[in-house]
Amino acid sequence: MKKYLLSGVAALGLLAAGAASAADLPSRKGPVVAPVYVPAFTWTGFYVGANAGYGWGNVNANGFANVGDLDGFVGGGQVGYNYQIGQFVIGAEADFQGADLSSGDNLGLLNVKTEWYGTVRARAGVAFDRFLVYATGGWAYGNVKTSFPGLFGPFALNSDRTHTGGFAVGGGVEYAFTNNLIGGVEYMYVDLGEKNIATLPGNKVGTDFSVVRARLSYKF
């Protein structure tokens, strides 16, 4: 019996020594690499940009008939801020546009132009990662220039009024090509309202028009 006990103790000693030697051997596994975390894109932040497009619309001339439709080039810049809450994005934007929106009546007696306008609007949309669909609306202002070249010849009466009681509504889509560069397409309807012609009190003229424009912004 004593012989068997001594044999068992010796075997256990050999197993323990083998385990210790195996623990001292270098590991064949490579170094542990921590996973790289790529943060999700966020629409939150300030941005500035430029835009260009085409506009078309109407002349609202109280007391004048047969005034043609407006149309022409529109281009300018925008500045704004977005804030993302989950999948929803809210923000505000202001833009200022140069325009070549002109019209005239069929007899050449009346010309109406809008040469510049601007808007201050709220924006709200839904983001799908780097893709954003949004609606927008707010205040609009701009100039309405009226002249009567055919009626008074070289002594044509001119009126250039700034309209401040208008509104703008629309919507668009944007895509973030990088974390900073954002492109998009936008539609907007702008109504500058009617205002008395300076040289002919009691006669009102205004413009309303649609704009489709491409836009490119840089987000900080």
Q: Is residue 91 pLDDT above 60, yes or no? A: yes
What is the per-residue pLDDT across 53-75, written as a single tens digit (0 to 9) for each? 999 999 988 766 567 789 999 99
The residue that leads in pLDDT, 28 or 82, is: 82
Cα dist from 136 to 74, 110, 153, 187, whole Å:
18, 34, 44, 10
Q: Rounded to two decimals, what is the model's pTM?
A: 0.79
- Comparing 31 with 165, the larger pLDDT belongs to 165
CA distance linking residue 107 with residue 109, whole number of Å: 5
Domains annotated on the chain, with CATH: 47-219 (2.40.160.20)
> pLDDT (tens digit, 9 = 90+) per residue, 13-32?
444 445 444 445 455 555 66
